[in-house]
Amino acid sequence: MRVLVTGARGFVGRNLCESLKAIRDGKDRRERYQGLLPLTVWECDVDTPRGDLERWCAGADFVFNLAGVNRPEDPADFMAGNFGFASELLGMLERGGNRCSVMLASSAQASLEGRYAGSAYGESKLAGEGLFFEYSERTGAPVLVYRFPNLYGKWCRPRYNSAVATFCDAIANGRPYTVSDPSVELELLHIDDLVEEMLSALLGEEHRCGYDGLEPVPDPAGRYCYCPVTDRATLGEIVSLLESFKMSRDDLSVPDLTEGSLSKKLWSTFESYYGAGSLAYPLRANRDERGSFTEFLRTPERGQVSVNVSKPGVTKGNHWHHTKWERFLVVSGEALVRLRRVGLDESGEPYPVDEYRVSGDNPIVVEMAPGMTHSITNLSATDDLVTVMWANEPFDPEDPDTFHEEV
């Protein structure tokens, strides 16, 4: 399949083109997309020679028209950049006798409803929609018109046309920002969800709809297309989440990463805005003569991850917990892990010791069950022992649930 993408260096275009090229180059091997191979991707932007664009329009099997003007100095340029280029593109397709499917990136502002009433940008997008529909009626070529809500994700330019991008950049890099009205609610569409929808459109599986004002109404025979995966949040809620992501470097917290959640998608977006030299941060290592213990991650629902270093010959632990339980994974060195149930058996004797000899060369997880005192000993006389430790609950110094007892 031969795919033409206009606006290829823009936010949406770049994300789409990278996904298409991953399929083309065999890096994305998902069975769903193998029917697109062999795949040719033509990337068109403002400096593309018109001769190349004319040739690509004659040979394309599918066209994604993502080119457009968002913030010109002169509002009149909205119409020239959005309506004018769309007219030129469709003219090239028609001259080339090409009746392939053409997708148009429009905007929710084209509804001219509510706060979008009188929008010069919305009016230019609405004019572009009309141009596409008229072209389809005249030529019989399928058109897919998408009205995008507020888009966000990696590679979106801050201080341009995305509040999310602006806040991500400011909070990640310590720049000043203001929230004029925290109660304003946005409909948000993550770039990965949008790209997935566009790839579905390439396969002939687009989602169609009509519109009731700003709201898409699913309709298999609808005139418009839409991405069914969006979220709604206020500016205040968005900023609060972003601030918590920044704070996670200090408190080691991990927010909600439920698949498909706004929190997960927003955190992935936020991470992409750290500037060069800002992608590393220190942790506090608790050190003594035995080695060190460093907390890495904390979650309220999924416990705590830490890294334990034991000096040669050192034994750590010799304690037990009521409700806390742990998993030890030695990643470097050799260790002896010993466990014993607390108390006495029916004969009044101590319970037997359960022992596990483990090493980083053969990863084995050993579980420290509640009610069992346990220890870990570095068996090396020369090398440190490194162990990744997971506990089902973060350590609370006010309620440590840790009681000394020799194994």
Which residues are marked as active site? Answer: 116
User: 117-120, long-range: CB within 8 Å, 24+ apart, which pairs?
Assistant: 120/75, 120/78, 120/79
Spatial separation of the C-alpha atoms in residues 365 and 307, rounded to whole Å = 14
Peptide bond before residue 38 is cis, with ω within 30 degrees of 0: yes
3-state secondary structure of 19: helix
3-state secondary structure of 301: coil
Q: How many residues does the chain have?
A: 407
**Judging by DSSP bridges, how do beta strands 385-391 and 303-310 pair with one another?**
antiparallel
Which of 200, 78, 95 lies closest to 146 in space, CA to CA? 200
Spatial separation of the C-alpha atoms in residues 373 and 393, rounded to whole Å = 17
Could you count the other beta carbons within 10 Å of the beta carbon of residue 382? 6
In the chain the first and final C-alpha atoms are separated, in Å, by 67
| Residue with token string 């509040």 | 163
Spatial separation of the C-alpha atoms in residues 61 and 4, rounded to whole Å = 8
Spatial separation of the C-alpha atoms in residues 201 and 65, rounded to whole Å = 13
